[in-house]
Structure 1
Amino acid sequence: MGWRQVEIMKNWIPVFAGMTSRTFTVVVVLGMTLSRPHECFSAFAVQAGAFRSETGVSQQLEKISRSGFPVIVEKLERTGRPALIAVLVGPYEWSNEAESARAALRLAGIDGYVRYYRNGAVKTEPQKNGAGGKEQAVAASNDRAPLNARREPPSPTLRLAAAAAAQTEAAQPTPQATTRTSSLPFTLSGHAQSAAAYTVASPDHWSKLKNTLHLALERAFSDDIKLKISGRFSYDGAYDVSNFYPDRVRRDQRFDGMFHETFLDVGMNDWTFRLGRQHVTWGEVVGLFFADVVSAKDLREFLVPEFDYIRIPQWGARAEYFKGDFKAELLWIPYTTYDRIGKPGSEFYPFAIPPPAGFEQRIRSERTPHKLSDSSFGLRASYLTGGWDIAAFYFGSVDQNATFYRSISLAPVPTVTYRPDHERIHQAGLTASKDLGSFVLKGEAVYTWDRFFNVTRVSDTDGVVRQKFLDYILSAEFPLPGDSRVNLQFFQRWFTNHDPDMIPRRVESGASLFASTKFFHDKVEPELLTIHSLNRLDWMARFKINWYFAENWRLVAGTAFFGGKKLGLFGRFDQKDRVFMELRYSF
């Protein structure tokens, strides 16, 4: 191969950027050595995405290579449509080994699923282990190939890309289990986590002593049919070691248990169907929820936990259709899961409007509608053109976010009563993203109508007004040396029919910064997230350090601080500053 061809390939495939021509030639030779077909055979692999462009493949390879996993690329031929390129981790002889790798990948912010793997693709050597959990996981479900796609060996270029992903120094073996459980009819994975938090603002107290077990069972009946059942169970001892919280908060948060992702996947020609409780991720910005309108949220700890503990999947039916660079989704949610906001008196209960002078205040139990007429419906279409991934969606639902409706009584004691309730809203949105070389640009815009907001005037009958508004966010993410990244975001909300007695202004602006690095040590990753209003003093800052001290283990220590006015989004939690620690074992 001539030097001119080397330079052309270096410029064409982003994952090779920064290599010298001589180093790249070594990679090419290694890639040719590893790319002989039919040399490896194994039963299982983790599919971490299927892409229509080689740019997406190279980005995913670069991300996986930081985590120390063996990488496979595979071409998926589809009848009458352009092929997809699958990025896989493995191969593994035993299904539980693949599940262990999948769990470790999730800690590194890479989502995926275990499937059968037969032969014909390139396997690279493992790399450095212990990449940190990113703030926003890759939504592999949005790039999932049809289950019945025909698998063929990759092109020579993609084999070279896979080989290039293995050129970083190998430090430790790939995370994987050693116990063989092939006699079981399913695969078992999950994690166990112990977490503690101490509120340092006055009055100081233990706010979390929580032990959580997450279990997932999966079985592939065929290439086209797959079943997953998972659940999460927890006990929080903070409600037993002190009497700081009211009894209703203790009853709500001391014990917890729920089905998590529990679904059946079926593939039929160009269609994939998913029935059951599932994550539907339409937005991908960092630290905030804009186009991510489908998933419910557990906000009992506000934005302090990671997203995999904030997002709650929905019970629904989803159909996905693939045609070339076009993809369409249809979604029906017959039983809506609503945001979990806790009970009055809990650490991050979201209501902060004080009663008028001389009035008592009561908050009644939340109403959560679950009739068939309260079903949610969604449609999303996406298209890849010129390197831009562009999508549009509509989602009609009963609002997952509670609105506090007010009533006033004067006898026997003047009382203001609020009741959290949910009414139907409508949302239409656009998302776009593009890799511009030195950084990745993302944008999301969502127009919402028929949502209710509180007003402060006493003369209003129920204390709420119906509003229309536009949310949008622009995000730029910069990869830096030393496995580092910096993400900058600007966002606004514009009310088109703003009521002057609402707490938010007609235009609300804000900015956020997220930064992480492994520059100092490949197993230690500091992270900083700050979000700040540009209208007023209203902010939050979360700093934490992730330490991947052993295979499948992670220790986190951090702080979360809030500041601003009493009615601000963050200022209402001004007395909730905390320090926290988490220990997680994934299997």
Structure 2
Amino acid sequence: MIAKKFLIHTTFLMVLLALTTKAKADSWRYQTRGFLSARLSTYTEEKSRNYGQLTRAQFEQLTEFSTNLTALNQLRWTSNTIDTDLSTKSTPSKKDNFDAYLGENYIKYKSDSWVAQIGYQEVVWGEAFGFNYADIINPKDQRQTFFSDASEARLPLLLFNGKSFFSSGDFSGSLQFLYSPEPRFSKTLPIDIYAGNLFLQSTLKVIKERTPQMFKETEIGGKISASYAGFDLALFTFSYLDREPHYLFSSATLTNITLQEEHTKIKSSGFSLAKTIYDFVFRTDVVMTQDKLVNYTVNSQLKTFSTSSLNALVSLDTPTYNDFSGVLILARSTLKDIMLNSFRQRQEQYFIGKISKNLGNEKALEFSYIHEFENSGHSVQTFLNWPINNLTDLKLGGEFYFGDDLSNLKKFKNVSSVFVSIKNYFQL
């Protein structure tokens, strides 16, 4: 099975590479670019492991066969220490995680009234700073913090992605259809972030569920968008394997417990609404998810219950005034039902504020604050972005998490840190 899946992926990649490197296509246009980035953090918590690192790289080639037909090929890799840095239940030694994988790799055909893409790609259905409730299509690397760039946290998904466009006078819109024959799962936080002290064992181990064989499980969804008189409205639905797992008991000793991941089919539906008034951008995302399984414990036994969730946010992006700009967000996630000793709370509500100061020459100073209402959690990030030249960005800053013991934000306290990062872009 693994060999067959590898053969399918390799064949698909080789076809794309052949299309983009065929010697006889002298009229084709090529663009090769990418970036290399590295971040080094010094932790401020006593129980942390002194330092953390995160490095990324992306190599990309865009090929234009014609004005209508293009291909994109990406290769990415990441290396980090986030699993051991975040862990609170056990105290493993410092460990680097290394992942090399295909980024977006697809062929795209575009006409005047429709566009189609097939291959590994990222589809964004809603994005707000820190909370991307409507961004449900792609799995994500959840090990990154609230302040991570969503575009870097997304993981590509094999999709057929078709979109048609329509317009009549001032009214315009689009109709999008998505189909995936190969569901993929998010990279989750360490299990003890969710379980807390619900288990007596000192060490928790998780057996990851493998990606389903191609066409064994399929995902399907659609979105209709419309714009009129400054209003942008989108309605969407997507049936898919839950990107986040629930856990089944596998084995246990007095000191160790092993859990097995499982992902079940869920369905999310919702809408996004945006309106620009005097350069202020108001936006709301509302997403309802059905048949979601959540873990809880009873007498140290692991169980699940089925529920529905409602996620909603309202955001306001302000225009730039005297080189200042800002973002305000209210976000709320609610479960219909809850059990005692659940892996998550029934209601999670946050306020997010971000202010940026333009220092000129693309330099910027930024301050962000997140407040968690239910359990009085807090998070602060500030950084200075200082481009060295057109190809290199330097960033200096810090991010800190604190609050009540039950707060979600305090779960990230081990990665409270000051950091320095550098990102270098290149184009061949």
> In structure 2, the residue corresponding to 1:526 is in which secondary structure?
strand
The gaps in structure 1 that reach 5 residues or longer are 1-181
- Name the CA distance, whole Å, in 1 between partners of 2:129 and 2:188: 21
- Name the CA distance, whole Å, in 1 between partners of 2:399 and 2:154: 19
1:482 aligns with 2:329: no
Aligned to 1:563: 402
Of structures 1 and 2, the one scoring higher in RCO (CA 8 A, sep 6+) is 2
- Name the CA distance, whole Å, in 1 between partners of 2:385 and 2:54: 18
CA deviation after TM superposition for structure 1 residue 553, in Å: 1.6
Change over 3 Å in CA distance of 1:342–1:486 after alignment to 2: closer
TM-score by length of structure 1 reads 0.61
Q: Which amino acid aligns with 2:287?
A: V
CA deviation after TM superposition for structure 1 residue 273, in Å: 0.5
Q: Percent identity?
A: 18
1:363 aligns with 2:205: yes
What RMSD in Å do the two structures reach over aligned CA positions? 2.8
Aligned to 1:352: 195
2:185 to 338, 363, 380: 338
- Name the CA distance, whole Å, in 2 between partners of 1:576 and 1:289: 21
- Name the CA distance, whole Å, in 1 between partners of 2:181 and 2:82: 35
CA deviation after TM superposition for structure 1 residue 275, in Å: 0.8
Q: Which runs of structure 2 are paired with 1:6-85 in the superposition (5 Å)?
A: none
Aligned to 2:11: none
1:228 to 72, 75, 78: 72
> In structure 1, the residue corresponding to 2:402 is in which secondary structure?
strand
CA contact (8 A) 1:476 1:489 kept: yes
> In structure 2, the residue corresponding to 1:571 is in which secondary structure?
helix
CA deviation after TM superposition for structure 1 residue 212, in Å: 3.0
- Name the CA distance, whole Å, in 2 between partners of 1:550 and 1:327: 39
- Name the CA distance, whole Å, in 2 between partners of 1:459 and 1:352: 11
Change over 3 Å in CA distance of 1:183–1:552 after alignment to 2: farther
- Name the CA distance, whole Å, in 1 between partners of 2:194 and 2:348: 19
- Name the CA distance, whole Å, in 2 between partners of 1:270 and 1:563: 51
Q: Which amino acid aligns with 2:322?
A: G
Change over 3 Å in CA distance of 1:423–1:552 after alignment to 2: same
CA contact (8 A) 1:207 1:238 kept: no
CA deviation after TM superposition for structure 1 residue 184, in Å: 8.8
1:548 aligns with 2:395: no
Flag the structure with higher strand content.
Answer: 2
Aligned residues: 390
> In structure 2, the residue corresponding to 1:575 is in which secondary structure?
helix
1:215 aligns with 2:62: no
1:434 aligns with 2:296: no
Flag the structure with higher helix content.
Answer: 1
CA deviation after TM superposition for structure 1 residue 207, in Å: 3.9
- Name the CA distance, whole Å, in 1 between partners of 2:350 and 2:79: 36
Aligned to 2:284: 443
Q: Which amino acid aligns with 1:511?
A: F
- Name the CA distance, whole Å, in 2 between partners of 1:225 and 1:319: 14
- Name the CA distance, whole Å, in 2 between partners of 1:313 and 1:415: 34
Change over 3 Å in CA distance of 1:268–1:524 after alignment to 2: closer
Q: Which amino acid aligns with 1:523?
A: E
- Cα deviations by residue, 1:113-172 (Å, 9 ceiling, x for unpaired): xxxxxxxxxxxxxxxxxxxxxxxxxxxxxxxxxxxxxxxxxxxxxxxxxxxxxxxxxxxx
CA deviation after TM superposition for structure 1 residue 454, in Å: 2.1
1:404 to 238, 247, 251: 247
Change over 3 Å in CA distance of 1:238–1:333 after alignment to 2: closer
CA contact (8 A) 2:207 2:258 kept: no
CA deviation after TM superposition for structure 1 residue 452, in Å: 1.4
CA deviation after TM superposition for structure 1 residue 295, in Å: 1.7
Aligned to 1:198: 42
- Name the CA distance, whole Å, in 2 between partners of 1:266 and 1:495: 41
1:535 aligns with 2:380: no
Q: Is 389-398 or 280-289 further displaced after alignment?
A: 280-289
1:515 aligns with 2:360: no
2:299 to 458, 461, 469: 458
- Name the CA distance, whole Å, in 1 between partners of 2:349 and 2:416: 24
- Name the CA distance, whole Å, in 2 between partners of 1:211 and 1:509: 32
Return the index of the structure with the highest Cα Rg. 1
1:328 aligns with 2:175: yes
Aligned to 1:259: 102
CA deviation after TM superposition for structure 1 residue 206, in Å: 4.5
Q: Which amino acid aligns with 2:264?
A: E
CA deviation after TM superposition for structure 1 residue 183, in Å: 9.8
> In structure 1, the residue corresponding to 2:337 is in which secondary structure?
coil
- Name the CA distance, whole Å, in 1 between partners of 2:394 and 2:203: 42
